Amino acid sequence: MVSETFIKPSAADKRVAKLQELLAQVSGSRGDSRIAPTVAESQSRARAILSELAIPSTKDEEWRFTDLSSLLDINFQLAGPAAVDVFALADSELDETANSRLVFVNGIYVPELSSVAGLPAGVQVGNLSAGNFPEIASYLAQQQGGQEVFTALNTAGLADAAVVWVPANTIIETPIHLVFLTAAGATPVWSQPRALVVAQRGSACTIIEEYAAARGTWCAQEASNCYLTNAVTEIWLAENAQVKHDRIQREATNAFHISKTAVSQAKDSRYTCTAVTSGAKLSRHNLEIFQAGEGTETVLNGLAGISNSQVADAHTAVILNHPHGIVRQLHKCIADGNAHAVFNGKIFVAKAAQLTDASQLNRNLLLSRKAKVDTKPQLEIIADNVKCSHGATVSQLEPQEMFYLQSRGLDPATSRNLLIDGFAGEILAQLSIPALGAKLSRCIACRTDN
d(CA 382, CA 110): 48
d(CA 239, CA 266): 5
Which member of 410, 433, 445, 446 binds other proteins (CB under 8 A)?
A: 410
Least distance to other proteins, CB of residue 210, Å: 24
Orientation angle between helical segments 2-28 and 36-50, nearest 10 degrees: 170
Q: Does 414 bind other proteins (CB under 8 A)?
A: yes
Which member of 32, 85, 135, 398 binds other proteins (CB under 8 A)?
A: 398
Question: 3-state DSSP call for residue 349?
Answer: strand
Q: Does 425 bind other proteins (CB under 8 A)?
A: yes
Q: Does 396 bind other proteins (CB under 8 A)?
A: no
Q: Are the C-beta atoms of residues 188 and 74 closer than 8 Å to each other? A: yes
Dihedral of alpha carbons 154, 432, 203, 286, sign:
negative
3-state helix vs strand vs coil in the chain, percent to 5: 25, 35, 40
Least distance to other proteins, CB of residue 316, Å: 22
Residue 172: CA count within 13 A, CB half-sphere? 34
Extended strands (E) in 307-356: 311-320, 326-335, 340-349
DSSP category for residue 423: H
Residue among 311, 281, 284 nearest 373 (CA): 311
By C-beta, is 132 or 400 nearer to other proteins? 400
Q: Does 369 bind other proteins (CB under 8 A)?
A: no
Q: Does 400 bind other proteins (CB under 8 A)?
A: yes
Choose the binding region for other proteins from 75-83, 299-307, 346-354, 411-419 (rule: CB under 8 A).
411-419
Residue type, 250: R
Choose the binding region for other proteins from 143-151, 354-362, 371-379, 398-406 (rule: CB under 8 A).
398-406
Residues 6 or more apart in contact with residue 85 via CB below 8 angstroms: none
By C-beta, is 98 or 429 nearer to other proteins? 429
Q: Does 10 bind other proteins (CB under 8 A)?
A: no
Q: Does 422 bind other proteins (CB under 8 A)?
A: yes
Residue type, 163: V
Least distance to other proteins, CB of residue 417, Å: 10
Q: Are the C-beta atoms of residues 136 and 196 closer than 8 Å to each other? A: yes
Extended strands (E) in 12-122: 77-78, 101-105, 108-109
By C-beta, is 386 or 436 nearer to other proteins? 436
By C-beta, is 139 or 423 nearer to other proteins? 423
Q: Does 411 bind other proteins (CB under 8 A)?
A: yes
Q: Does 403 bind other proteins (CB under 8 A)?
A: yes
Q: Does 120 bind other proteins (CB under 8 A)?
A: no
Least distance to other proteins, CB of residue 134, Å: 47
Choose the binding region for other proteins from 109-117, 126-134, 192-200, 423-431 (rule: CB under 8 A).
423-431
Which member of 299, 326, 405, 446 binds other proteins (CB under 8 A)?
A: 405
Dihedral of alpha carbons 8, 14, 19, 23, sign:
positive
Q: Does 37 bind other proteins (CB under 8 A)?
A: no
Question: 3-state DSSP call for residue 405?
Answer: helix
Which member of 120, 412, 434, 435 binds other proteins (CB under 8 A)?
A: 412
Question: 3-state DSSP call for residue 175?
Answer: coil
d(CA 376, CA 387): 20
Q: Does 393 bind other proteins (CB under 8 A)?
A: no
Choose the binding region for other proteins from 67-75, 203-211, 286-294, 406-414 (rule: CB under 8 A).
406-414
By C-beta, is 9 or 409 nearer to other proteins? 409
d(CA 83, CA 229): 19
Residue type, 285: H
How many residues does this entry show for the chain?
Answer: 450
By C-beta, is 56 or 437 nearer to other proteins? 437
Least distance to other proteins, CB of residue 271, Å: 24
Choose the binding region for other proteins from 162-170, 276-284, 382-390, 421-429 (rule: CB under 8 A).
421-429
Compute how many residues bind other proteins; rule: CB under 8 A: 24
Q: Does 9 bind other proteins (CB under 8 A)?
A: no
Q: Does 407 bind other proteins (CB under 8 A)?
A: yes
Q: Does 401 bind other proteins (CB under 8 A)?
A: yes
Residue among 33, 331, 27 nearest 153 (CA): 27
| Residues in touch with other proteins (CB under 8 A) | 398-401, 403-412, 414-415, 418-419, 421-426
